[in-house]
Chain A
Amino acid sequence: MRSKEGQAQLKDAVYRVVLRNKVAVIVIFLGLILNFVTPLFLTSTNLFNVLRQITTTAILSVGFTLVLGAREIDLSVGALLGLVGVILAKLLVAGVPIWLAIAIGLAFGTVCGMAGGIIITLFEIPAFIVTLATAQVYRGANYLITGMAPVTKLSESFAFIGQGYLGPIPIPVCILAVVFVIVVVVVNKTLFGRHAIAVGGNIEAARLCGIKVMRVRVGVYAVAALCASIGAVVMTARAASAQIGAGQGMEMDAITAVVIGGTPLYGGNANVIGTLFGCMIVGMVNNGLNLLGIDSNWQVVAKGLLILFAVLSDVLTTRFYENVRRRQTLAE
């Protein structure tokens, strides 16, 4: 009897360790498989390639972690990234100094995010409807501004932000590192971050305890939009041009990365480090399929399946914890 109980506890403990670090487990597992099927995968050139490819998504996803942690959702970040990119490119082409163009781009993106947040909180409309609509607005504005033609021939000094190196490290990776550290500190150490998580965990309790819920929620959207805008700068600089389709569908990559990374869909927790691993998984899957020479349309299918997998693993994790809790309560 006693040992049976002990066994169950051990099983729980093992499950818990695996589930808490599921993202690292998946990364290692995926890496081993890819290394096995293609020798090209585990070369430093290729790994740096993966890293460079995921930087934009990662910058966006890191901010998105706070959104999901606060039990919000923003489906407009991808379209916003595209729009900020073309605005930035147009400004640069018009001869605006680089620093000013970037500042305007970031400010514009952040204000857009806040506006969406204000509409959501003020009128209490479901976030996904509002952001689906604003995404459409951003996309339309993007097409209007560009006339459906990409903005090209951006200066080399601007392209340096996306293509240059700081020592051995690509500048986009440096930018990602800075954004990552800031968001980790914001989420875990600041009043705003903790309030956002509290709102995500139990919005009524947060309200009853005097947290200014609306301000926090709008702030969360602002952070996500700012990160998307930083992503836009990096992406535009890397390509030295703004493509009209840039950022499309990136919100789905972000959701996948964040959820696989261990931030629950129902909020109340934000695992920013996990998100970084989640981005690596998304990047590795794409990279692996590329290396294997598989039809790029299959990548679209793979992405969809990955989202399903992420959500499923999240649901199963939640259910596991609920079961453990139920057993504990019964035992008392």
Chain B
Amino acid sequence: MELPASGTAQTIDDGKPILELHKICKYFGGVHALEDVDLALYPNEVLAIVGDNGAGKSTLIKTISGAHRPDSGEIYFQGRKVEISNPRVARQLGIETVYQDLALVNTLDVPENIFLGRTPTRLRWFVDKKKMFAQTREILERLNIKIPFLRDPVQNMSGGQRQALALGRAVAWGGRIVILDEPTAALGVREKSNVLTLIKQLKAHGVAIVVISHNMRDVFDVSDRIVVLRGGKNVASRPKEETSMDEIVKLITGALESVDIAHQD
């Protein structure tokens, strides 16, 4: 595994978006899951995508992570047009997704989970445990993730530690865009705040982060910008400072019709 250089903030921050979606449409049968969705994601930003159930949040992130192919529309990665036809392509571009179930193997220990599918080897066939442990320590330290017992199977860890581990893995694997699906669901109060802190730290490492969440408080805590989906359409994009929970909730429910969609970046 190639570790990104420490600091990792080599993303060229020239004010241009790292990822741009242009008029993305996705139909399931006769249902417009996504309709002409435009979206821009910048380096060093946490973008929250909010919306009611069925608003198209999941479909949208699955389009980015390669699980769904859009029926029409274009995706630009660092200004270059790309086809994200499957999750492997997404990963090669540096788009990592942390799914709600975290995709951890409960019975394996921390290093084995971090290196799942990318295990360093010796003599081609054999696992290089030493290297795995050393690099795991380095990764966790760099990202300031505290997990005391690396040798324990991850099933013995708390929900917050597991979330942190999944996040750490995504970044360690060179993710420049990390998509988080409901990262704070099912977490206790303290755990939640730990994870939110970690997300802010990742941002400082030059990673662009997309968060899907139902929890408005978390969204306002962690994000820089909030995109509202309703009925498969992008109805608003607001910097956090220029909006309020009240306005966002109204946009989600449709009590407030958006007017500024044309001004969106």
Q: Hey, which bits of chain A sit against chain B, CB under 8 A?
A: 189-192, 194, 197-198, 200-202, 204-206, 208-211, 267-269, 321, 325, 328-329, 332
Contact = CB atoms under 8 A, between A and B. Distances in A.
A268 B105 CA distance: 8
A205 B156 CA distance: 18
B155 interface: yes
B127 A332 contact: no
A7 to B, nearest CB: 20
Given A198-B112, A206-B116, 9 more contacts: A191-B126, A191-B127, A194-B112, A194-B119, A201-B106, A202-B106, A208-B99, A328-B158, A329-B159
Interface in B98-113: 99, 101-108, 112
Given A202-B103, A202-B105, A208-B87, A191 B116 contact: no
Most A CB atoms within 10 A — which of B126, B156, B159? B126
A206 B155 CA distance: 16
Contact of B117 (A200, A206, A328, A329): A206
B105 A191 contact: no
Contacts of A204: 101, 103
Contact of A201 (B99, B105, B119, B127): B105
Interface residues of B, number: 28
Contacts of B108: 194, 197-198, 201, 268
Contacts of B126: 189-191
Given A198-B108, A201-B107, A329 B158 contact: yes
Nearest to B161: A332
Q: Would you call the interface of chain A mostly helix, strand, loop, or mixed?
A: helix
Interface of B: 87-88, 91, 99, 101-108, 112, 116-119, 121, 125-127, 155-156, 158-159, 188, 190-191
A70 to B, nearest CB: 11
B106 A268 contact: yes
The 5 closest A-B CB pairs, nearest first, are: A209-B117, A268-B107, A210-B117, A201-B105, A205-B103
Given A190-B126, A191-B119, A210 B88 contact: yes
B209 to A, nearest CB: 19
Contacts of A208: 87, 99, 103
Contacts of A194: 108, 112, 119, 127
19 contacts: A189-B127, A190-B125, A191-B119, A191-B127, A194-B127, A197-B107, A198-B108, A201-B105, A201-B106, A202-B106, A205-B103, A205-B104, A208-B99, A209-B103, A210-B91, A325-B156, A328-B158, A332-B188, A332-B191
A191 B106 contact: no
A312 B109 CA distance: 26
A189 B105 CA distance: 17
